[in-house]
Amino acid sequence: MPDTPSPAAADPTAGDLRAMREALYRGLFEHAPLEVHMWRVERDAQGAIADWRLLDANPAALKAWGRELEQVMGHRAEEIFPGSNAVANFLPLVRQIMHSGQPTQWEAHFAGTGQTLRMVSIPVGGCFISAGFDVTQERERQQALELALQRVTQATRAGGVGLWDWDLRTNQVRYSDEWKRQLGHEPHEIGDHFDEWRSRVHPDDMPRVMALINDHFERRSTLYVSEHRLLAKDGSWRWIMDRGQAI
Q: What is the pLDDT of residue 3?
A: 59
If pLDDT is split at 50, 70 and 90, which confidence band does 70 have? very high
The answer to whether 107 and 117 have CB atoms below 8 angstroms apart is yes
> What is the per-residue pLDDT across 138-194, written as a single tens digit (0 to 9) for each?
989 988 988 887 888 788 778 888 889 998 888 889 998 889 999 999 999 999 999
Residue 216 vs residue 156, higher pLDDT: 216
Give the model's pLDDT for residue 79.
93
Residue 2 has pLDDT above 60, yes or no: no
Of the pLDDT bands very low, low, confident and very high (cuts 50, 70, 90), residue 6 is low
pLDDT mean over 97-123: 92
Give residue 207's pLDDT: 96
Distance between CA 136 and CA 142 in Å, rounded?
Answer: 10
Distance separating alpha carbons of residues 182 and 126, to the nearest angstrom: 61
Measured in whole angstroms, the distance separating CA 22 from the mean position of its chain's CA atoms is 33
Please list the residues that pair with 133 across neighbouring strands. Answer: 118
Q: Could you tell me the pLDDT band of residue 4, with boundaries at 50, 70 and 90? A: low
Mean pLDDT of 4-16: 65
| CA 128/CA 89 separation, integer angstroms | 17
Task: Kindly state the percentage of the chain with pLDDT values over 70.
Answer: 96
Determine the pLDDT at residue 123.
96
Compare 13 and 40 and report the one with higher pLDDT.
Answer: 40
Give, in order, the Cα–Cα distances in Å from 63 to each of 56, 58, 60, 112, 140: 13, 9, 5, 14, 21
- For residue 25, the model assigns a pLDDT of 80
Contacts of 225 (CB under 8 A, 6+ apart): 212, 241, 242, 243
Task: Assign 7 a pLDDT band (cuts: 50, 70, 90).
Answer: low
